[in-house]
Structure 1
């Protein structure tokens, strides 16, 4: 099996798994209990909280654990329902977790502006500035796109949003572990992340909440008042430990991972672009190190993906890959339906090898030529 769909999910690093295992069997007490066993688990949770916060330049009290980035996004947006300002600004290329939550807000009296992007995925800051009004509550823009890897200039976005007293939320799900992220430097109020995107377990994520944003946020899950009353429920201790360990490894190995993975990505891309008429979707410079989205004109991507069998790639977001509709991200870049449906996302990871890249190039080129209409 050759796995090149790491933007959908990553393999759990063995170091992460080993850190988690004792919290299923030996240290299984509830972290909220006041006995010695519970206090011991709570200390481990505190360390994982610090590890997570340290990865993004935050402090521990600004981290709230969730079931993943989707829940974090929902909490950050829906938690603002009772605010007086009723306008949201976001981007057409956001993940469906953001877009569909914004549509929910529209059904509850909010106005949402969906900004376009340039063919390379870039945002027009003049358009952004003009879109923010005195009624704008929050600007929601992802740090790096899950389909094309484009990295938005969030620091510039923050300057514009802050000047108009609007909050800034950033879906950093695809950026964490691939680029340096500092919430203070970037001026972010909410940041969502998921452990399974950077070699941690599924079912655990986090929401960073700035002090300013916390004052406006309503909880969406009520119960025993855990996590400063913002997200009740017994903590997923093994998951939190796994997230913390994955964050620690990502912090320590970011530079070496970037260097190795980008080299493999470039080799893959250069090899696949030998297919006549093929081209890379989006910006080829300002993107995360592991992602290449390539159009093979005249080749149906779903057919090619099935033909590849034990090589795992995708033709869009993992949350919408089961549909035969063209990617909303690629359409926003200006691609025709035909070219969008002929595009494949290759996303490499920590465990990708050069031999796997060589085999992928060979097999994709042969099969694409055979399937070309």
Structure 2
């Protein structure tokens, strides 16, 4: 897969948006779609939440239905980058897989491969030559690394956290991924991966570029704030609602969500971000415009807003939770899905490393 996605003049956000939109058009065309392969994934630090669902999982299912080959990494090694030790990693690995299947990802009938980071040694081996292609200053400038450190349990920047974006580049490029769903804050990771691919190609395979140039597929879903009013809904910050949360837990979480003291409900994201966030969630659940929802609630206040959101969100989560309970009763099936995904990932990674060794000129047994 050596098709180089259409170039852009520079990597400003506007250019990234334009490139993402062009990619969406390409993915609608079956002839163009065959040139693409998607890499996405999550760290097993807890169960997935509604931010994941509206922000990325729904889109993964839609791309699956188009037939796009997709690798989903459960990045267990990367759990260790920003904490002293991993806790219940194996448990949460299975939990993530259950969440994926419950929302509709279907490795049985589509080219979707769910695999575990630590079980694909060839992928992690690719990390070593990639480290030679980046500088310390490049890694230290990465804004998302700084943010992860700020919210981590570490007192200082570890080598693993500093090199985290390089490991992500290996995740993307081991399978020649060139479609990577991201948010705006993750675009620096895409840019570093592009630099690594370009530098490898220039240094080792200049006549026929080996690694593709990935594109960030930007989500059209508005950024979802945490229920505590912070800028990001996150498992680690405890401000989210898990996909597996029951009706009473959903109601309790939404009741405690931060709003403001104004009685009339209006959709004003800049002036009233917490209220706007709940209206956005309602819009994602119902398909309605947040402005129209606000108008219909009017003087009902935050109580009416929260009651309506509770009702709508529970309606969205009910079928997901019903399917999830079925998978919870069959861990052997979950293990088979993961084993199959790891086998496919190892096969692709082994071929990539064989090619990389050939380019590097290293000894091959």
Give me the TM-score of the superposition, normalised by structure 2: 0.28
Which has a greater percent of strand?
1
Which has a greater percent of helix?
2
Give me the TM-score of the superposition, normalised by structure 1: 0.28
